[in-house]
Copies of this chain bind each other. A is one copy, B any other.
Amino acid sequence: MPATDSHCWVGVDLGGTKILTGVFDASLKLLGTAKVSTRAERGLDTVCERIERCIREALEGAGHKLAQVRAIGIGAPGAVDADRSTVLFAPNLPGWRNVPLGRRLARALDRPVVVGNDANVCTLGVHEVELRAQPRHLVGVFVGTGIGGGLVLNGQLYEGASHTAAEIGHMILEVNGPKCGCGNRGCWEALASRTAIYRRLRQAVDAGEKTILTDWLGRELEDLRSNELRKAWHHGDKLVRRILLQTADYLGLGIASLVNLLNPEVVALGGGLIQALHAELMPRITETARARMMPGSERALTLLASRLGDHAGITGAAVLARRALEDAPARTAGVKRA
């Protein structure tokens, strides 16, 4: 029921293909969501209008007014200068370079807006809402088309010298491995993302191997999604099982490297691939990862699949909004200081 006198937080997950928005109450309980397509190809103005629209729709659904929103958080794909709430560049949003997204939306909506990198924001959501801010050191690993990551170290989001830390998808795991989207070879995301799975499947099909997926999607395997992979797994498809287990091994190896490096209390996995296939893959990921960790770090570690699923981004964005307003108002575009 509408609670017209109470305030709320809004979290926005800005993706290359869709925008998801959530309205959260003061204690970060989710009250309602809305979703629109991004239409990134139509340019910056269109995307900003669509974010606005998506926020208004979610508020309407949750029975809240814009005036009740204390702050809006946004997780954006790409490099973000969190101090200025500015998107520096975003490979999946054509033409986005140095976009002062926070200031722009703050002006349009007359609410404070804070922007962070999407994988950082997801990690923040897992840390503060799912894990109740318990772990001092958390590594978030989000596996979908690529592999994104976030680091909470000493209880704080770690962003590095120029806001580009936690590019975990571009750790090198196989020096002469397959080519990555970044131009290098053997990056983790070239070995263990859905893109890597697609590449291995296509190579196998081209080499004459059989899979039920070609019956469902055609030989090109266009529009292959994580759910089809799960269905094929349960259909007993041998090729899909073999490739998914190989991918799980690569995920485990990368996690072992991260743990040897950062000795976190928790590694939390999320993203589309994990959401669809955690029951099938987590045992193998865990086994491979634990076998490769240094004993001291292995004992200290909890390895889990986040239960936030699709909502990690909006949840984390709401956390970002709340933190920005309560901890460091200067970082929030449009905030009037008391």
CB within 8 Å of B: which residues of A? 79, 88, 135-137, 149, 153-154, 156, 158-168, 170-175, 177, 182, 184, 250, 253-254, 256-258, 260-265, 292, 294, 296-297, 299-301
In the bound complex, residues from chain B placing their C-beta under 8 Å from that of A172 are 173, 253-254, 256-257, 292
In the bound complex, residues from chain B placing their C-beta under 8 Å from that of A301 are 161
Contact B161–A300 (Cβ < 8 Å):
yes
Contact of A261 among B162, B165, B174 (CB under 8 A): B165
**Which chain B residue shows the least CB distance to A302?**
B161
Greatest chain B CB density within 10 A among A88, A149, A260, A264 is at A260
**Which chain B residue shows the least CB distance to A185?**
B292
In the bound complex, residues from chain B placing their C-beta under 8 Å from that of A167 are 260-261, 263, 294, 297
- In the assembled complex, the CB of A116 is this many whole angstroms from the nearest CB of chain B, namely 15
A-B contact pairs, 25 of them (CB 8 A): A136-B161, A153-B158, A154-B156, A158-B262, A159-B263, A160-B300, A161-B300, A161-B301, A162-B297, A163-B296, A164-B296, A164-B300, A165-B297, A167-B260, A167-B261, A167-B297, A168-B260, A170-B257, A170-B260, A171-B257, A172-B173, A173-B175, A174-B175, A175-B253, A257-B257
Q: How far is the CA of A244 from the CA of B162 in the complex (A)?
A: 32
Q: How far is the CA of A153 from the CA of B165 in the complex (A)?
A: 12
In the bound complex, residues from chain B placing their C-beta under 8 Å from that of A160 are 137, 262-264, 297, 300
Contact B88–A162 (Cβ < 8 Å):
no
- In the assembled complex, the CB of A221 is this many whole angstroms from the nearest CB of chain B, namely 25
Greatest chain B CB density within 10 A among A173, A182, A263, A292 is at A263
In the bound complex, residues from chain B placing their C-beta under 8 Å from that of A166 are 261, 263
In the bound complex, residues from chain B placing their C-beta under 8 Å from that of A174 are 174-175
Contact A300–B162 (Cβ < 8 Å):
yes
Greatest chain B CB density within 10 A among A135, A171, A253 is at A171
Contact of A294 among B182, B263, B292, B296 (CB under 8 A): B182
Contact B136–A170 (Cβ < 8 Å):
no
**Which chain B residue shows the least CB distance to A170?**
B260
Contact B297–A263 (Cβ < 8 Å):
no
Q: How far is the CA of A102 from the CA of B296 in the complex (A)?
A: 20
In the bound complex, residues from chain B placing their C-beta under 8 Å from that of A170 are 257, 260, 294
**Which chain B residue shows the least CB distance to A158?**
B153
Contact of A171 among B159, B171, B296 (CB under 8 A): B171
Q: How far is the CA of A265 from the CA of B171 in the complex (A)?
A: 18
Contact A161–B265 (Cβ < 8 Å):
yes
Told that A154-B158, A175-B253 touch, could you supply 17 new A-B pairs with CB distance under 8 A? A135-B161, A137-B160, A137-B161, A160-B264, A160-B297, A160-B300, A161-B300, A162-B300, A165-B263, A166-B263, A167-B261, A167-B294, A168-B261, A170-B257, A182-B294, A184-B256, A184-B292
Q: How far is the CA of A79 from the CA of B300 in the complex (A)?
A: 13
Contact B261–A164 (Cβ < 8 Å):
no
**Which chain B residue shows the least CB distance to A292?**
B184
Please judge, given known A-B contacts A261-B261, A263-B159, whether A294 and B164 are in contact too, CB under 8 Å. Answer: yes
- In the assembled complex, the CB of A223 is this many whole angstroms from the nearest CB of chain B, namely 29
- In the assembled complex, the CB of A78 is this many whole angstroms from the nearest CB of chain B, namely 10
